[in-house]
Chains A and B, each alone.
Chain A
Amino acid sequence: GAGVSQSPSNKVTEKGKDVELRCDPISGHTALYWYRQSLGQGLEFLIYFQGNSAPDKSGLPSDRFSAERTGGSVSTLTIQRTQQEDSAVYLCASSSSGAISKNIQYFGAGTRLSVL
């Protein structure tokens, strides 16, 4: 059984460019989360998808950040006009509503984004 898969594992981009980060959650997991881990800010929540409900976008730091989840599975986090302060590790997690594993968020290995 595959875990949460994120791609690319590393991304180097130039300031002002757009980037897309991909997350493949564990099959059947209804909830998907994006977090950001940076030296200055620690681990921050970004956005949360639960089934067909409207996503919780309360953690997105600016309107340059957006995310979508297609077909209730794969998610893409897009950062437009990247800035150097966007450099961080972007983590994706998924969880199930099943009785055995509910409340447990399984994390991917992350995408390390470096903005030059």
Chain B
Amino acid sequence: AQSVTQLDSQVPVFEEAPVELRCNYSSSVSVYLFWYVQYPNQGLQLLLKYLSGSTLVKGINGFEAEFNKSQTSFHLRKPSVHISDTAEYFCAVSKYNTDKLIFGTGTRLQVFP
């Protein structure tokens, strides 16, 4: 079975500072990896995904993530955050194409002016 751990439940950061949201996964088989963002009172929106190929994945809104198979990690990064990045971020895995998503518990990113 797959599982996802997001070590930080909350990450406070000042505007224009860099940020890293951590995600580790556990699986006995190859997985696909995703980051979703949920803005207040909205649904989930895909930020980026890793299926195969280059381990550095670029997504929307200036976010990127790096797949590290040896460390079973898929950390999300942004070099300079904006107030508008304040949201809940979820890391997720799926076992194969179009299978169900297993989510982490989420990390609330709070950006302060």
Contact = CB atoms under 8 A, between A and B. Distances in A.
Given A48-B99, A56-B100, A103 B32 contact: yes
B98 A107 contact: no
Given A102-B97, A103-B51, A103-B98, A108 B43 contact: yes
Given A42-B105, A107-B44, A48 B100 contact: yes
User: What's the interface size class on A, roughly?
Assistant: 20 to 34
Given A42-B104, A59-B100, A107-B36, 15 more contacts: A30-B98, A35-B101, A35-B103, A42-B105, A43-B106, A45-B101, A102-B97, A102-B98, A103-B32, A103-B97, A103-B98, A104-B46, A105-B46, A105-B101, A110-B43
A97 interface: yes
A31 to B, nearest CB: 5
Interface string B39-52: 00011111001010
User: What's the interface size class on B, roughly?
Assistant: 20 to 34
A110 B43 CA distance: 7
Interface of B: 32, 36, 42-46, 49, 51, 90, 92, 94, 97-106
Interface of A: 4, 30-31, 33, 35, 42-45, 48, 50, 56, 59, 91, 93, 95, 97, 102-110
